[in-house]
Chain A
Amino acid sequence: MYHQSTSLVEEQHDPFSLVADELSLLAKKLREMVVAEVPKLASAAEYFFKTGVEGKRFRPTVLLLMATALNVHLPEPIPNAGAPMAAELRARQQLLAEITEMIHVASLLHDDVLDDADTRRGIDSLNFVMGNKVSVLAGDFLLSRACVALASLGNPEVVSLVAKALEHLVTGETMQITTTTEQRCSMEYYMQKTYYKTASLISSSCKAVALLAGQTGEVATLAFEYGRNLGMAFQLIDDVLDFTGTSASLGKGSLSDIHHGIVTAPILFAMEEFPQLRAIIDQGFKDPKNVNLALEYLGKSRGIQRTRELAAQHASLAAEAIDSLPETIDEDMQRSKRALIDITQRVITRNK
């Protein structure tokens, strides 16, 4: 489908590798910032910015790739002025990636306090290891740094965008905590909450990257749409994996959503086929019998498949957004665009 230059060796490029150097610089910078300013939070810094634990730095990767894909080339007459300006732009976009990561990590820290979570990504959560207070403080610290960095970008529209995303994060979390029984069974409510909790931050940041590059209107919107659809696809698959884990069958996943009483897309779809599920959901999932019953219905239904289908739709929309970006002959830009599309596939085919 994509014609790579024939002079290149055919290789499956790991999209993450395209920006690997920038990413490790980013992680290093964030880690050092935390350690330098707040020695007490050094272990927290280790915790979240340590290589291996960081979940592949999904967001910064997407943002840096987007930055390359949207590169604006300056007209020839000013060859020397080009380089430093380009470098400065890149630095600002990198800063935006840092900001996004700080906000994301802060929200995770607070989420874990809110969920009383014991583990995060397979290891002890910070609040479990160091107490709620440090987690709240660490989250506040990161958020405040993000705020200052955001202001330093000097772009009111970008500030607005990211501030809104921050608000959405909180709103999404609130929606999760305080749902009525009616809302819990509504696909619309679920999708809205998912947008707030997962897709909003990445979509706003993608758009911000475009705005920083001086792109407006259509291109900025396309960047936003890419982020939004990618985020939704990501979360939908997360919901599936919570049931299926690394195996294709049910029940091998961590099942943490259902045990927390959180009703996700697979169950909502299953409920359309089996209205009896509704009564079980209303009863709640404290009783393991209800959990098993729900899993049974889920297995009999097309809930998992339909969720995957929906995720694939969103992934496809994300890819379309990239396709709709202005044509270019620049190889770096082409590579980055391909990488962004590649990511949409990886998001829906991953096993963890």
Chain B
Amino acid sequence: MASLTMVDLVGCASTSSNASLDRYLWRKTLHSSVSQRAHGVRRSGKLVTCRLDSARCRSISTKSADTLPNGTPEMLLNVKRGQISLGTVFDVVADDLLILNQNLKSIVGAENPVLMSAAEQIFGAGGKRMRPALVFLVSRATAQMSGLKELTTNHRRLAEIIEMIHTASLIHDDVLDESDLRRGKETVHQLYGTRVAVLAGDFMFAQSSWYLANLENLEVIKLISQVIKDFASGEIKQASSLFDCDVKLEEYLIKSYYKTASLVAASTKGSAIFSGVDSSVAESMFEYGKNLGLSFQVVDDILDFTQSAEQLGKPAGSDLAKGNLTAPVIFALEKEPKLRDIIESEFVEEGSLQDAIDLVQRCGGIQRAQELAKEKAVAAIQNLECLPRGSFRSALEEIVLYNLERIE
């Protein structure tokens, strides 16, 4: 019964201005969390096939909607949700992701066994495939607008390219950060040495450049090339401002854009371009990707403080330890001058890192960073308003919310 109602809800071109808000309120009232949806296994598949069909629309109790002054995205954030599982959110593009995995393996596998096993290390290390999923979701959502029946080869290639670039950056990042662990497994360069890590990264990068070139769409080529430039810029920006307590929030956001959001924004915009939608829609998708990416990075930075090593898959507080000052720290520095001294000492003293972490938590650095993450999340959801309501748009919204749930 519950899932049937959900199906209707999702398919409903609701009379209220915020179908997504309705849905979340329903969840709350029906106590049917998304994890229950996951429980229904292939039931969630039904959500995929549910079409926007106003004839099936039922005017669900809009009582709750009426009592809320504005059905704004902000309200979304204040509603208590159940545990969002990314696996479920990505259900609507599960097949696309399967095909992607196969293609990636054959692209990488076509070459050298040493490189292949190095790439396996990364590809097999519990990655969420978030970026390709975003490509597929935005592709499908925008395809609906332009009347495309199926995803094109370009769409799929774009997703593969994005994942390869992302992987290349991770591999080099680990060399640059001298990280030994990623997602709980040893890094490529820890296992195989710097040589192979650099080479594997270069290889992924070269492969993606080649596929990118073959897309033969200059706008997308330029878009993605810019990302590659941004990666390097971000890395450099970070490397040159370690332990620099004068770093401003603005600079942090720029660095975060370069390192994280740029790729996401290019993926979502590229998807829209290949769907052939209006440039204004493509721009909105860019903004969505950018805001999501920034929100994501801020949350990552918060978790580095709040999670344990086990949960992180790498040592806690490692950003701070390396002198990489992120949002929580930047906010805390505004309140607590003592923190500056500790940081500038570069943690030579035993226990000083823990002191710094405690200080950050005590003077509300975490909280303000959470606000920042929410701010970007709200913006991201607003960017989705040009998309048709449906399972894909909902999934895109849920990704934003999933991200925030990580810090609740």
Binding site for B on A (CB under 8 A): 37-41, 110, 113-114, 116, 132-133, 136-137, 140-141, 143-145, 147-148, 150-152, 154, 156, 159-160, 162-164, 166-167, 169-171, 173-175, 177-178
Contacts and interface: CB of A to CB of B under 8 A. Distances in A.
Given A132-B175, A174-B203, A167 B114 contact: no
B203 A140 contact: no
A140 B218 contact: no
B308 to A, nearest CB: 28
Given A132-B175, A159-B213, A137 B195 contact: no
Contacts of A177: 114, 195-196, 199
A154 B225 CA distance: 12
Contacts of B111: 171, 174
B209 interface: yes
The majority secondary structure among interface residues of chain A is helix
Q: What 8 A-B pairs are tightest by C-beta distance, nearest first?
A: A167-B206, A151-B225, A163-B213, A163-B209, A159-B213, A160-B213, A144-B232, A144-B229
A160 B206 CA distance: 11
B198 A159 contact: no
Nearest to A178: B114
Given A140-B231, A156-B216, A40 B112 contact: no
Q: Which of B202, B205, B240 has the most CB of A within 10 A?
A: B202
Given A39-B240, A132-B175, A148 B226 contact: yes
B239 interface: yes
Nearest to B208: A163
B176 A163 contact: no
Given A136-B198, A137-B232, A167 B207 contact: yes
B367 to A, nearest CB: 34
A165 to B, nearest CB: 9
A143 B205 contact: yes
Contacts of B203: 167, 170-171, 174
B229 A163 contact: no
A144 to B, nearest CB: 4
B172 interface: yes
Contacts of B175: 132-133, 136
A41 B240 CA distance: 10
A174 B199 contact: yes
Contact of A170 (B206, B222, B236): B206
Interface of B: 111-115, 172, 175-176, 178, 194-196, 198-199, 202-203, 205-207, 209-210, 212-214, 216, 218, 221-222, 225-226, 228-229, 231-233, 235-236, 239-240
Contacts of B235: 137, 140
A113 B206 contact: no
B211 to A, nearest CB: 8
B240 A144 contact: no
A208 to B, nearest CB: 12
A167 B206 CA distance: 5
Nearest to B216: A156
A178 B115 CA distance: 10
A166 B222 contact: no
Given A143-B232, A156-B221, A177-B196, 5 more contacts: A113-B195, A113-B198, A141-B232, A160-B214, A178-B113
B210 A163 contact: yes
Contacts of A170: 199, 202-203, 206
A342 B267 CA distance: 48
A113 B111 CA distance: 22
A136 B199 contact: no
Nearest to A156: B216
Nearest to B217: A156
Contacts of A166: 206, 209-210
Contacts of B232: 137, 140-141, 143-145
Contact of B222 (A133, A141, A151, A160): A151
A144 B213 contact: no
16 contacts: A38-B240, A40-B239, A110-B202, A140-B231, A148-B228, A152-B222, A159-B212, A159-B213, A159-B221, A163-B206, A163-B210, A169-B202, A170-B199, A174-B112, A174-B114, A178-B112
A110 B205 CA distance: 13
B207 A154 contact: no
A114 B199 contact: yes
A85 to B, nearest CB: 20
Nearest to B203: A170
A169 B195 CA distance: 15
A108 B265 CA distance: 32
Contacts of B213: 156, 159-160, 162-164
A167 B198 contact: no
Nearest to A109: B198
Contacts of A152: 222
B202 A137 contact: no
A10 B212 CA distance: 50
Contacts of A167: 203, 206-207, 209-210
Contacts of A144: 225, 228-229, 231-233
A41 B236 contact: yes
Contact of A147 (B115, B214, B228, B233): B228
A244 B222 CA distance: 47
A161 to B, nearest CB: 8
B236 A40 contact: yes
Given A163-B206, A167-B206, A178-B112, A140 B240 contact: no
Contacts of B195: 113-114, 116, 177
Given A143-B205, A154-B218, A169-B206, A133 B176 contact: yes
A293 to B, nearest CB: 28
B229 to A, nearest CB: 4
A133 B236 CA distance: 11
B225 A148 contact: yes
A224 B126 CA distance: 44
B255 to A, nearest CB: 14
A180 B205 CA distance: 25
A88 B194 CA distance: 42
Nearest to B237: A38
Contacts of B112: 171, 174-175, 178
Nearest to A106: B202
A38 B206 contact: no
A140 B172 CA distance: 9
